[in-house]
Amino acid sequence: MSKNKPYIIGIAGGSGSGKTFFLKCFLEHFSADEVCLVSQDDYYIPVAHNMTPEENKLYNFDLPRTIDMQQFHNDITRLINNETITKLEYTFNNPNAIPKTLEIKPAPILIVEGLFILHFQDISNQLNLKIFLDTDEEVALQRRLKRDLNERGYSHDDVLYKWHNHVVPAYKEYLLPYREGCHKIVVNNSNVAEDIIRTTDEISDEVRTKLFGE
């Protein structure tokens, strides 16, 4: 690994695997100038403004082609090359939300997270550490229900339709086959915060020792 190239960590997990909380805990171990984060969610190709509610329900967001993979890869490459990137955040089809402009500065540690990061080979091949968040299907569904009903305004039926027709098939096709090739598999079935906090403590200690000799 080049001395100037960042250490690239990929964090992958299906919907409801707890990626958001895992990332929050993990990032707390590093200062803002030590780590930067690029999220696949910010690279969805905008489509919602042309859709009726029914079309939105049927549209499958859980396919690789819904992501602007080229821009995603380009931005990762720019960060590797020590360039700052700016982009608009994705607002999950909420027409009332005003997207923020994200400024992401390069850092010694680059975290890339998302559902398809192991499927996108140009991205996967650059990852120095691959972390897979593994969660039982029923646990993940309950988390998805809680999030989508409370935060994104979907109905219970809509969530179940997307789960069974979009989310689970995509997980099995585009993420699960890569699990055994990951360096760390984190089983996240409990809703006890301390379990994830302890895991991020251990992994971040390993990374800090490897990179900074601490």
pTM value > 0.85: yes
SS3 label, residue 185:
strand
Q: Please state the domain extents for the chain.
A: 7-212
Q: What are the tens digits of pLDDT across the range 148-162?
A: 887 777 889 989 999
- The fold of the 7-212 domain, in CATH, is Rossmann fold (3.40.50)
Packing angle, helices 193-212 and 19-27, rounded to 10: 50
Q: Would you state the pLDDT for residue 98?
A: 83
Return the structure tokens found at 14: 């299906």
Per-run averaged pLDDT (10 residues), the chain, 214 residues: 81 95 96 96 82 81 95 97 92 74 96 97 97 97 89 84 96 97 96 93 96 86
